[in-house]
């Protein structure tokens, strides 16, 4: 006997929205067919819920009350001056830049001139102009093991950056991929980046999700990045997502490392009403090195979920993960980290740590570190902690004449700074600390 599962109001609205906008989305017949497959898969799966183990602590089916209309062919004006305001501390970083407003590429805001070894194309343009078979591959898989959120991205994505770094190239400056939301209209935005770093190349890519002050708070973002790091190449990638405390931000990174590749990833999340940052890394060649870290700040009723899977599929690779969060008010933090060591992945070296600092008795932190080891010659470990500020350290600072509020801020900055120090680019590190300091100042004001 088949049991029909009732769709929620939001799930019904998402399917109806696709029917309404499908003809306006970029791409030819093959792309539209892939989009149709993706929305069909979403219809079969529905929004993730707590009966799915990976979504146990972030039940989208119950928390996702409404589906906002998709942003399609958006023309909201944005000037360079407004872009700088939206970027905040990130505006001080000397970088190449490609910009998107409400999920739509804005070439007039780009600055990628004289970027030797770097090729950047707007995904929306490629979907519309590339040969059909090539364009359909850009949509990505709509079947297999991909989940409902990835399927939604494939169905609705409007634009994003296709980034290619040539073999052996070293970028003189970071590439800043900026996604700005602006305007008064409530909307959902789906974007996808495809980043390919050639063999022996070296690059830094910063993905920024920011908001122009005064814009609507009702926004739902679905962002996916497919990343491949070539043989003996090095990629430093960071994602900064800052908002005003109501945005729904669903993010996926899918990273593949070739032999002897080095990947250093960092994620900073602040001011999101509900955020789910999912990271999947697989080693496709021996000798790969991964350093993955992040920091998140939440207060009020904000909810931030970091879920990652590091798949050691081949021998002789190393991975390090460190994630730190600060939770105030009724905020909730979630960390789910899984390290998989396949049967042939001998000489694997993997370590993982997640820590949360609780500034309120009402804050919640859920942590589920996992090791799945099917090889015997490995060195692996994981740990997790959650605690309040150490009263002895606070007393020590105050006994040296530091006022209590300043002493608390110093201790919190020191805690979160350990994760931010993993960022090697000094300009980005300075910007992240500026965000953290501003957040602490706002929390102190209540």
Would the CA dihedral through 419, 421, 422, 428 be positive or negative?
A: positive
Q: Is residue 193 part of a domain?
A: yes
Asked if residue 2 is part of any domain, the answer here is no
Residue 446: Cβ within 10 Å count: 5
Residues of the chain with pLDDT under 70: 1-5, 141-145, 444-446
Q: In what order do the strands lie in the sheet containing 289-298?
A: 104-105, 96-101, 175-181, 202-211, 234-242, 262-270, 289-298, 318-327, 348-358, 378-387
Three-class DSSP category at 394: helix
Q: Compute the distance between CA of residue 29 and CA of residue 218 in angstroms, rounded to an integer.
A: 32
Q: How far apart are CA 424 and CA 173, in angstroms?
A: 13
Average pLDDT, the chain: 93
What is the distance between the alpha carbons of residues 255 and 378, in angstroms, rounded to a whole number? 22
Per-residue pLDDT at 330 = 95
Task: Supply the pLDDT for residue 1.
Answer: 38
225 domain-assigned: yes
In a domain, 438, yes or no: no
Which residues form the domain of 69? Answer: 9-389
Threshold 0.75, pTM exceeds: yes
Residue 402 lies in a domain: no
SS3 356: strand
Q: How far apart are CA 261 and CA 128, in angstroms?
A: 33
Helix (H) or strand (E) holding 87: helix 80-87
The rounded distance, in Å, linking the Cα atoms of 240 and 211 is 12
> At how many degrees (to 10) do helices 148-156 and 29-45 cross?
150
User: Strand order in 248-257's β-sheet?
Assistant: 118-122, 161-165, 187-197, 219-229, 248-257, 274-283, 303-312, 332-341, 364-373
Nearest to 161 by CA among 115, 201, 214: 115
Task: Round to the nearest angstrom and report the end-to-end CA distance of the chain.
Answer: 55
Report the alpha-carbon distance of residue 129 to residue 134 in Å, rounded: 10
Residue 400: inside a domain: no
What is the domain count for the chain? 1
Residue 58 domain-assigned (yes or no): yes
> In terms of Cα–Cα distance, which of 48, 99, 92 is closest to 76?
99
For β-strands 96-101 and 104-105, DSSP reports them as: antiparallel
pLDDT at position 446, please? 59
411 in any annotated domain: no
Identify whether the C-beta of residue 125 lies closer than 8 Å to the C-beta of residue 107: no
Report the length, in residues, of the chain.
Answer: 446
């Amino acid at each position: 006997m088949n049991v029909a599962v009732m769709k929620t109001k939001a799930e019904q609205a998402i399917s109806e929205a696709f029917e309404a906008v499908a003809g306006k989305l970029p791409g030819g017949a093959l792309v539209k067919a892939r989009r149709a497959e993706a929305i069909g898969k979403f219809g079969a799966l529905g929004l993730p819920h707590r009966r799915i183990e990976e979504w146990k602590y972030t039940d989208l089916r119950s928390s996702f009350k409404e589906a906002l209309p998709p942003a399609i062919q958006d023309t909201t004006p944005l000037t360079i001056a407004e872009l700088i305001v939206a970027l905040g501390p990130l505006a001080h970083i000397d970088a190449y830049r490609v910009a998107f407003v409400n999920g739509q590429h804005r070439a007039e805001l780009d600055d990628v001139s004289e970027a030797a070894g770097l090729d950047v194309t707007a995904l929306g343009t490629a979907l519309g102009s590339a040969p059909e078979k090539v364009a359909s591959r850009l949509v990505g898989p709509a079947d297999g093991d991909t989940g409902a959120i990835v399927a939604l991205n494939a169905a609705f994505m409007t634009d994003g950056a296709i980034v290619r770094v040539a073999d052996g190239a070293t970028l003189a400056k970071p590439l800043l991929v900026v996604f700005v939301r602006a305007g008064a209209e409530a909307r959902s935005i789906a974007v996808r980046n495809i980043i390919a770093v050639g063999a022996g190349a070296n690059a830094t890519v910063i993905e920024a999700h920011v908001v122009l002050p005064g814009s609507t708070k009702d926004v739902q973002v679905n962002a996916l990045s497919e990343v491949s790091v070539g043989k003996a190449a090095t990629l430093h990638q960071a994602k900064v997502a800052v908002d005003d405390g109501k945005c729904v931000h669903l993010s996926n990174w899918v990273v593949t490392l070739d032999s002897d590749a080095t990947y250093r990833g960092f994620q900073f999340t602040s001011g999101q009403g509900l955020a789910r940052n999912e990271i999947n890394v697989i080693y496709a060649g021996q000798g790969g090195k991964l350093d993955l870290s992040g920091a998140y700040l939440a207060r009020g009723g904000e909810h931030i979920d970091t879920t990652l899977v590091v798949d050691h599929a081949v021998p002789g690779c190393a991975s390090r993960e460190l994630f730190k969060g600060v939770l105030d008010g009724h905020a909730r933090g979630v960390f789910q980290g899984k390290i998989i060591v396949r049967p042939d992945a001998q000489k694997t070296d993997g370590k993982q740590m997640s820590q949360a600092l609780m500034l309120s008795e009402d804050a919640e932190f859920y942590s589920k570190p996992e090791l799945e080891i099917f090889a015997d010659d490995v060195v692996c470990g994981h740990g997790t902690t959650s605690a309040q500020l150490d009263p002895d350290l606070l007393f020590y600072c105050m006994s040296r004449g530091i006022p209590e509020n300043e002493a608390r801020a110093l201790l919190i900055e020191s805690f979160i700074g350990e994760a931010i120090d993993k960022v090697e680019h000094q300009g980005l590190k300075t910007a992240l600390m500026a965000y953290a300091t501003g957040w602490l100042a706002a929390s102190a004001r209540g």
